[in-house]
Structure formats: structure tokens, C-alpha cells
């Protein structure tokens, strides 16, 4: 089992995830790939073998008003291949998860076209890196737009219109408010897209009352043989929220919002979850925690302390698809 974290390193804040300069300062994918190289070396040194790259690796690559940035992926073929080789040599699984601006099921054709363009760039980056099929672009169904079934059908139609090379790289995740596992399973049934199970989202949005184990098993079964499935795991933030209250002598105290990620992963939740699903197909776990790599490193220590059998499984098992 691999554990991964998302984009930014908290342990090494000087390591950037991508070239974040504004367009006036000529950012470039090749600079992002140099940052990625530095990050991959850090990951290898820390024995971290899964990483979600920044979806802004190729800056402005699909910006309609900036054609000067549109050819970066083609321009950087050698650099992409080299970074792919570096990731493979260190056995690091990579992925992308574009932001909420990517909405394939929008009723607005322009937004759908932009979303498809973004997904195409990300898929082409993974292809140019020579990444194995396990390297996926994770996305959500999108918005409901007052009709859930029509929204799902629009996603399916837009998905089918994508080039095969892009569809091969996509995976679909249940979200915390709109489309639960029951919905992503329906989309899988229509498209074959593999599903990412998100444990926290499932707790928050479970329209058909499926147990976490059953939901996970159903999602794992959507992945082709020979490719290790991936899930997302997080703990909800439980701290109270203090809000300034202009005109009041004291701030407002509000309860936590469970959809917000905690800084770290509650190790006991994680251990219980892993033990409850130990008879299922093996999977990799992307940790979604605000402390990022610090959370991952802490969870590794916690597993060694509280669940040595799980810690052993992480260090000993060969990775699927290696």
C-alpha cells in the first residue's frame, strides 16, 4: 500500500510544486518540471511513493488569450520523459486532481470545452512522462443544475466526446454534497471510468445508505485488473471556528464544518478503516490533510506504534503494476 500527499510540502516549504509566476514573468512548464525533479528527489529520500502533482504544472497552457503558452507540453517532450523516468526509477505513483473550474457536465458549452482542454493537457503530460496507467487525473461529476439525472447524463456525453487518450487517464471521485458513490457508480456503468472512493465525502454524502466497506468494495471493483486502485482518506476538522463579529464585544464561536480536512489523519480512524477493509482488493491511499507530508510521516509513525501489521504491509508489499 502506498501513502501519498498533495502538491505542497510542509516539511520542506522551500520546495515548490510548480512555476507559479504570473504570465508577465514568463513562467514555463520546464521550470515546473525542474521543481518537480527537486520534489521527486525529496520524495525518494523520504521514502514517499505517491504524489499528486499540481494541476498548474503547465502555466496558462489552455488560457484562450495567451497562445504563447499553448505549446509547452510539446516543447518539453524531453524534459517530461526525463521526469517520468525519474519517477519510475524511484517507483513514485503520480496523479493530478484539477480544481473546481473543471466542470465537464456544465450546460455551458464554453465551460465544457475549457474543461476538456484542461483535462487534455493533464492527460498529455502523464502520457509524455510515460506514466503507467495507474497515473490518473481525478475529477468530480460537477454541478447538479436542478436535475441530477440530466447532470449525470451530460457528464457521460461530455466524457464520451473526449479523445480516447484523455479518457484512459480519467478517474471519478464521489463528492461531499452533490454526487455520492451511488451516482459515480451509475456513471461508471455508462462509461467504464474507474472510481476513487473518498471516505470523508462518503460520510457526508451517502444517498443510498451504503456502508463504507460496501461503497469502497464497489469502487475498487471498477478498476481494471493489474492497476492498483486509489482512494482518498482524510479526517474531518473538529476545531471550533472563531469568527470576528463587527459591532460585538466578543467573536462568534461556530461549530466545525465536517467537510473541512483536519491537519493530520486520525490514526485510529485510519487503522479501523484499513482493518475493516483488509479482505478487499489492495489499494493505495492519497491522504488529504492540511499538514500534507508531515501528516503522512506522522501517520507512518502512528501505524508503526499502533498497527504494526499495517506498517509492515506498507513497507514490505510490492506495488501493483510495478
Partner 1 sequence: MEDENSPNGDSPVLVVVVNDPADLARAQREGWYRIPLARAPARVAAEWLAFYQTGAFPAGERWAVRWLAPVRGYRLATRRELIPAEPEHLRAGDLYYRVTLGPLEPVEPPILSRRLRRITFIPTTLARLREAGEINDLWIKSSAQERLWSAIKGAEIEAERQYPLRDDDLAEHALADFALFGPAGRVAIIVEDEPRDEVEVRETRAIDYLLVARDWLALRVTREQLGADPGGLLKRASALAGIQLVK
Gap between the Cα atoms of 98 and 89, Å rounded? 26
188 binds partner 1 (CB under 8 A): no
Neighbours of 48 (CB within 10 A): 23
Gap between the Cα atoms of 140 and 119, Å rounded? 12
25/250 with CB nearer partner 1:
25
- How many residues touch partner 1 under the rule CB under 8 A: the total is 23
34/111 with CB nearer partner 1:
34
| Interface with partner 1 (CB under 8 A), residue from 74, 78, 253, 276 | 78
- Of 176, 169, 186, which Cα lies nearest the Cα of 131? 169
82 binds partner 1 (CB under 8 A): yes
Least CB distance to partner 1 at residue 66 (A) = 14
Least CB distance to partner 1 at residue 42 (A) = 8
* Residue 58, all three cell numbers: 503547465
> Of 18-47, which residues contact partner 1 (CB under 8 A)?
19, 21-22, 24-26, 28, 30-31, 33-35, 37-38, 41-42
* Residue 296, all three cell numbers: 503522512
Least CB distance to partner 1 at residue 38 (A) = 5
Neighbours of 235 (CB within 10 A): 22
Least CB distance to partner 1 at residue 46 (A) = 12
37/259 with CB nearer partner 1:
37
41/165 with CB nearer partner 1:
41
11 binds partner 1 (CB under 8 A): no
DSSP 92-161: -EEEE---TT--TT-S-HHHHHHHHHHHHHHHHHHHHTT--TT-EEEE-----TT-HHHHHHHHHHHHHH
57/170 with CB nearer partner 1:
57
79 binds partner 1 (CB under 8 A): yes
Least CB distance to partner 1 at residue 31 (A) = 6
Q: Are 129 and 94 in contact (CB under 8 A)?
A: yes
Q: Are 202 and 174 in contact (CB under 8 A)?
A: yes
Gap between the Cα atoms of 10 and 282, Å rounded? 28
86/113 with CB nearer partner 1:
86
- Residues at the interface with partner 1 (CB under 8 A): 14-16, 19, 21-22, 24-26, 28, 30-31, 33-35, 37-38, 41-42, 76, 78-79, 82
Amino acid at each position: 500500500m502506498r501513502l501519498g500527499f498533495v502538491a505542497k510540502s510542509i516539511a520542506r516549504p522551500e520546495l515548490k510544486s510548480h512555476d507559479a509566476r504570473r504570465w508577465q514573468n514568463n513562467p514555463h512548464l520546464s521550470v515546473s518540471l525542474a521543481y518537480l525533479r527537486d520534489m521527486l528527489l525529496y520524495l525518494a529520500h523520504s521514502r514517499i511513493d505517491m504524489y499528486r502533482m499540481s494541476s498548474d504544472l503547465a502555466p496558462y497552457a489552455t488560457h484562450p488569450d495567451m497562445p504563447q503558452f499553448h505549446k509547452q507540453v510539446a516543447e518539453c517532450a524531453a524534459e517530461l520523459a526525463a521526469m517520468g523516468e525519474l519517477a519510475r526509477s524511484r517507483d513514485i505513483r503520480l496523479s493530478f486532481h484539477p480544481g473546481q473550474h473543471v466542470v465537464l457536465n456544465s450546460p455551458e458549452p464554453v465551460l465544457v470545452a475549457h474543461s476538456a482542454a484542461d483535462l487534455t493537457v493533464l492527460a498529455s503530460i502523464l502520457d509524455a512522462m510515460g506514466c503507467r496507467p495507474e497515473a490518473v487525473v481525478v475529477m468530480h461529476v460537477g454541478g447538479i443544475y436542478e436535475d441530477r439525472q440530466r447532470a449525470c447524463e451530460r457528464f457521460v456525453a461530455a466524457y464520451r466526446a473526449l479523445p480516447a487518450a484523455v479518457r484512459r487517464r480519467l478517474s471519478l471521485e464521489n463528492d461531499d454534497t452533490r454526487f455520492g458513490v451511488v451516482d459515480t457508480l451509475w456513471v461508471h456503468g455508462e462509461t467504464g471510468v474507474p472510481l476513487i472512493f473518498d471516505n470523508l465525502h462518503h460520510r457526508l454524502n451517502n444517498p443510498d445508505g451504503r456502508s463504507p466497506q460496501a461503497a469502497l468494495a464497489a469502487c475498487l471493483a471498477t478498476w481494471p485488473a493489474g492497476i492498483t486502485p486509489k482512494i482518498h482518506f482524510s479526517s474531518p476538522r473538529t476545531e471550533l471556528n472563531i469568527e470576528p463579529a463587527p459591532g460585538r464585544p466578543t467573536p462568534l464561536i461556530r461549530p466545525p464544518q465536517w467537510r473541512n480536512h483536519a491537519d493530520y489523519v486520525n490514526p485510529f480512524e485510519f487503522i479501523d478503516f484499513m482493518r475493516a477493509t483488509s479482505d478487499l482488493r489492495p489499494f493505495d491511499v492519497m491522504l488529504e490533510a492540511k499538514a500534507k507530508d508531515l501528516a503522512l510521516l506522522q501517520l507512518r509513525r502512528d501505524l508503526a506504534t499502533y498497527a504494526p501489521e499495517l506498517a509492515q504491509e506498507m513497507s514490505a508489499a510490492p506495488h501493483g503494476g510495478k
